Amino acid sequence: MASRPTTVALIVAAGSGSRVGGAQPKQFRLVRGKPMLWHSYATLAAHPAIDQVYVAVGAGQETEAVAALADLKEPILLQGGLTRRESVYLGLKAIATAETVDQVLIHDAARPFLPVHVINDLLDALSLAPGAVPALPVVDSLSRGTDILSETVARENLWRIQTPQAFAFQDIYAAHQSWTGAEPTDDARMLMAQGSDVRIVPGAEALNKFTFSSDFAGNSMPTFRSGNGFDVHRLVPGAELWLCGVQIPHDRGLDGHSDADVAMHALTDAILGAIAKGDIGDHFPPSDPQWRGASSDRFLAHAIKVARADGFELSNADVTIICEQPKVGPFRGKMRERLAEIMSVDVDRISVKATTTEMLGFTGRGEGIAAQATATFEKI
């Protein structure tokens, strides 16, 4: 059985980030609660096919780099250069001196969000060529011009090249050793200049490079809110039974000031709790006669409207109905669809479940129905 190739990753993190602005190099600025460098390092270090991760940093950046990666596997830091190409070359040279390597992934720290499938595709492609890059097709119209547009540039077979770029180690090291031209746009150009093929694998929008200060906007730690709701109503003769906005055939219905839809009331409270806007009684007091017999979809629609007005969008909602009878299972699909319709979300964001209390308590005796719900929101 053939052993797998030895593979290392080299992250280039030696720049000053001058186009971003500020005193701190961009690779150490926080992105979603972690230093930018942390994200790609964590992904590469955790990949089972990657044996070691090296990081090329600028002079005097060692302490900051160690601090940025403090909660991860201890990094191997290398001295970078004044340009990206010089940093890569110095990194490859140090790796070649330290160990025998078959393959290398060269990545820019300024691309923090690295999907694992991109790594897998790159390594697979190295069985077909000595180099591989992730790339996305150009889909926007292209044109030359300064202040005024001139001719249109055909976009067929044009690609947006990303990193990491994968290479047979000796091939890319030799390309760097012999390079005498101007600063290349990337390492793949250097390998191609040696007459070697470089394959394209699908890139990812998540791999977009952070270049300007505006790129950091919207990439702070996402804000999530969760709320819980619980409600109980008594079963009585002569009343309709509504659960999650669906009328259920049964010999009794739920008693309440409105239509007593216990599941929708619990979900409404979960939403209001998530956004810290009180509870259903604050918004629809049972003492107010206008809500007598009201359809509970009005309460739920109001709660989701308040949440969206505050800049929150529903991630998911989970409702559990607790009763011995009636059987909820046959109606779950309609219930999910109705809740999704009221809240204007995809049905796959809505879960409805049912359980019993094994004949225990008021629900077990068939005296009433309870419901609990959880709603999770993300700040948009």
Q: What is the pLDDT of residue 312?
A: 87
pLDDT 10s digits, 252-300: 999 988 899 999 999 999 999 999 999 988 888 877 878 777 889 999 9
Q: What is the pLDDT of residue 69?
A: 93
Q: Does domain 7-216 have CATH number 3.90.550.10?
A: yes
Picking from 300, 316, 353, the residue whose alpha carbon sits closest to that of residue 331 is: 353
User: Which CATH number applies to 224-379?
Assistant: 3.30.1330.50
pLDDT 10s digits, 33-69: 889 999 999 999 999 999 999 999 999 999 999 999 9
Q: What is the pLDDT of residue 64?
A: 93
Q: What is the pLDDT of residue 211?
A: 78
User: What radius of gyration, in Å, describes the C-alpha atoms of the chain?
Assistant: 29
Q: What is the pLDDT of residue 206?
A: 87
pTM: 0.64
Cis amide linkage into residue 164, ω under 30° from 0: yes
Picking from 374, 370, 375, the residue whose alpha carbon sits closest to that of residue 256 is: 370
The domain ranges of the chain are: 7-216, 224-379
CB 319 within 8 A of CB 369: no
Q: What is the pLDDT of residue 291?
A: 77
d(CA 196, CA 125) in angstroms, rounded, equals 14
Q: What is the pLDDT of residue 123?
A: 97
Which are the contacts of 139, defined by CB distance < 8 A and separation ≥ 6? 155
Q: What is the pLDDT of residue 32?
A: 78
Q: What is the pLDDT of residue 286?
A: 78
CB atoms within 10 A of CB 48: 7
Q: Which residues of the chain have pLDDT under 70?
A: 1-2, 16-23, 217-222, 380
Which are the contacts of 252, defined by CB distance < 8 A and separation ≥ 6? 235, 236, 237, 238, 239, 241
